[in-house]
Amino acid sequence: MEISYSTECRDIDWNLVAKILETVGMSHHRPDIHRKAFEASHTTIFARCRGRLIGFGRAISDGQYQAALYDCAVLPEFQGQGVGSAIIGRIVEHLSHCNIILYASPGKEQFYQGHGFARMKTGMALFLEMQSKREHGFIE
Ligand SMILES: CC(C)(COP(=O)(O)OP(=O)(O)OC[C@H]1O[C@@H](n2cnc3c(N)ncnc32)[C@H](O)[C@@H]1OP(=O)(O)O)[C@@H](O)C(=O)NCCC(=O)NCCS
């Protein structure tokens, strides 16, 4: 199975981005909202199999010393084959001069630990929907 990786937001089907996020159970929005979020990001990676979008990830950053990783997702039928690792690896490499933070979906912490990330002891968040995030295990 040949997977190709690109960084360009051109020619991305944003309906599919929203659909993939929904499929894997992550927060999803209107397609044009995702387009704006990815286009405003510092680093974006898209994975394709025979031209079909199968996964992606992005990081926002000042480009100097701080970055945060979001929206890393791989279609279920392509998970467990190294695609997520390749996406994270590319983002981390591109931002190797920065601190990188993220909040993992509950249960996905090990995946990130495998890429050198460690649990934060003082992480704080002001989410738009605090109660929902609490119910889903993101915050105390
Ligand atoms: C998390 C996700 C991006 C990983 O992508 P993937 O392509 O399945 O990951 P890989 O195949 O590159 O796996 C890399 C390693 O992480 C491990 N791993 C993957 N998912 C894991 C999980 N949920 N828990 C523990 N380890 C996990 C794999 O076993 C593999 O280990 P190995 O290198 O020792 O074999 C993908 O499973 C996904 O999209 N999940 C749903 C969305 C999601 O939760 N995204 C993360 C938001 S924080």
- Report the percentage of the chain scoring pLDDT > 70: 100
pLDDT in tens, 44-63: 999 999 999 999 999 999 99
The answer on pLDDT for 87 being more than 90 is yes
Ligand 1 pocket: which of 23, 111, 115 to mutate (most atoms <8 Å of CB)?
A: 111
Q: What is the pTM of this model?
A: 0.94
Mean pLDDT of the 67-78 span: 98
Domains and CATH numbers, the chain: 3-102 (3.40.630.30)
- Residue 131 is classified by DSSP as H
Q: Which residue minimizes the CA distance to atom 16 of ligand 1? A: 111
CA of 111 to the centre of ligand 1 (A): 5
Q: Are 102 and 112 in contact (CB under 8 A)?
A: yes
Q: How much is the pLDDT for 51?
A: 95
Q: Which atom of ligand 1 is found nearest the CA of 78?
A: 7
Structure tokens at 134: 């609490």
- Report the percentage of the chain scoring pLDDT > 90: 99
Q: How much is the pLDDT for 124?
A: 97
CA of 83 to the centre of ligand 1 (A): 9
The answer on pLDDT for 1 being more than 90 is no
Q: Which atom of ligand 1 is found nearest the CA of 86?
A: 12
Q: How much is the pLDDT for 61?
A: 98
Please provide the average confidence, as pLDDT, over all residues in the chain: 97
Structure tokens at 16: 């599919």
- β-pairing, 3-6 vs 66-74, is unpaired
- CA gap 22, 7 in Å, rounded: 22
pLDDT in tens, 99-110: 999 999 999 999
CA of 124 to the centre of ligand 1 (A): 24
Structure tokens at 111: 């995946």
pLDDT in tens, 34-43: 999 999 999 9
